Amino acid sequence: MAYDTIKYMRDKLVEKLIKGEEKRQAEGLELIPSENYVSEDVLKANGSVFTNKYSEGYPGRRYYGGQDFTDAIERLAIERVCKLFNCKFANVQPHSGAPANLAVYAALLEPGDTVLGMDLSHGGHLTHGHPMTLPAKIYKFVAYKMKNTETGEIDYEEMRRVAIANKPKIIIAGFSAYSRQLDYKKFVEIAHEVGAITMADMAHIAGLIAAGALRNPFDDGFDIITSTTHKTLRGPRGGIILTRENEEIAKKIDKSIFPGIQGGPHMHTIAAKAVAFGEAMTPKFKKYAKQILRNAKAMEKVFHKNNIRMIGGGTDNHLILADVFGSLGVTGKEAQTVLDEVGITLNMNSIAGDIRKPLDPSGIRFGTPAITTRGFKEKECAYVAELMVRVLKNKDNKKIKESVHKEIKKLAKKFPIPKKFV
């Protein structure tokens, strides 16, 4: 087994559960686009003695003593992430992506101010305006959508009309389940026209941007990038907020994180972030990111061949959103369950215009970051896609499911989770 993080624990129940999860990850294939594996070095940093240390404040401006090493590790993380994304300022303290987004809102908006983001049903994230979230209770959110769900094209003219009519203070480019590329220049043009700040929520594709496999929004004039540090960036569970060059915005964001919405930062996680940023700066990571895209295209071809509708018509990034109910008569929940049975993990997902409920939607969402980390290339990814289709078309056939499960175990054994990436 690649991961062998637990040698001995006094709490045998917790040890058993951790070992069970290690076995599940080792013997199955992870296709959830927001999940990945981390290196042994990231795991070690995340489980280090930095977890014992409180460090409220920022390097050189802490409210506790004993900060020599915490200051050094946070400065290192900031330095590395600024180099990765070509920006002047970074806050590496957010505990995850949602708090990072909330911190930007709190830093730059007053209650009742307007934000323009991608509609959740068209691929946006909960924090971009879903009425059940805290931001939506404080601020006003308006949405843009795809012009054509078969191509994934965003309706930029309608976005402009909505922006002119509502005068948003922030315009968000970003998504959770969108498979095409965004035209960042058009976002910036619209923002300049209405006097808005541009924010790119790059949680899903940050690693692809860092590696140069996808375009950096900062290169087109975006003001802010928020992101998680896991997913394609292949680091620990956490968040970051990057500011291209505006020091005033960066200072407001720092105050918004601490003391605004967080107390002491998780220094063990910041240490792990520093490790992951260092790994992402290597030529090997650049090759990895490009392979993610090639692998997604290989899976796209198989779904095209089997006439399974994909929202957006395919993919330009790491993920695919497939309408399995409309194409195969299999609900998203059924697909998630039956694929889990054969060792393939993905998630059910609503699609644009979905006639089904969120807990049993029409679609599934899957991607290639984790299996690419294991060393899968186009051939293996196409084969996995073929196995997925076989199961979905024969979801009640026990023999076929058993046969596929054996194939998945063989693949997992052939491509073990690596311990090191550089």
Contact indicator for 50, 273 with CB cutoff of 8 Å:
no
Instruction: State the residue for tokens 């049903």.
Output: 121
Contact indicator for 253, 330 with CB cutoff of 8 Å:
no
Say how far apart CA 419 and CA 349 lie, in whole Å. Answer: 31
* SS3 call for 204: coil
Q: Provide Rg for the chain, Cα atoms.
A: 21
Q: What is the largest CA-CA distance in the chain?
A: 63
Catalytic residue (choose from 231, 365, 395, 401): 231
Q: Is the peptide bond before 259 cis (omega within 30 degrees of 0)?
A: yes
The verdict on whether 231 is a catalytic residue reads yes
The verdict on whether 24 is a catalytic residue reads no
Catalytic residue (choose from 70, 114, 198, 228): 228
Positive or negative, the Cα torsion across 12, 13, 16, 22? Answer: negative
Which tokens in the block code for residue 17?
């559960």
Element at 320 (helix H, strand E): strand 319-323
Which tokens in the block code for residue 419?
């311990």
Q: Which residues pair with 320 in a beta bridge?
A: 366
* SS3 call for 51: helix
Catalytic residue (choose from 22, 35, 40, 56): 56
The verdict on whether 137 is a catalytic residue reads no
Catalytic residue (choose from 237, 286, 290, 333): 237
Which tokens in the block code for residue 86?
């070509």
The verdict on whether 237 is a catalytic residue reads yes
Catalytic residue (choose from 15, 35, 54, 145): 54
Which segments of 282-351 does DSSP mark as H helices, in order?
283-305, 324-328, 332-341
The verdict on whether 83 is a catalytic residue reads no
DSSP letter for each residue of 31-87: --TT-----HHHHHHHTSGGGG----EETTEESSS--HHHHHHHHHHHHHHHHHHT-
The verdict on whether 273 is a catalytic residue reads no
Catalytic residue (choose from 105, 127, 144, 201): 201
Active site residues: 54, 56, 201, 228, 231, 237
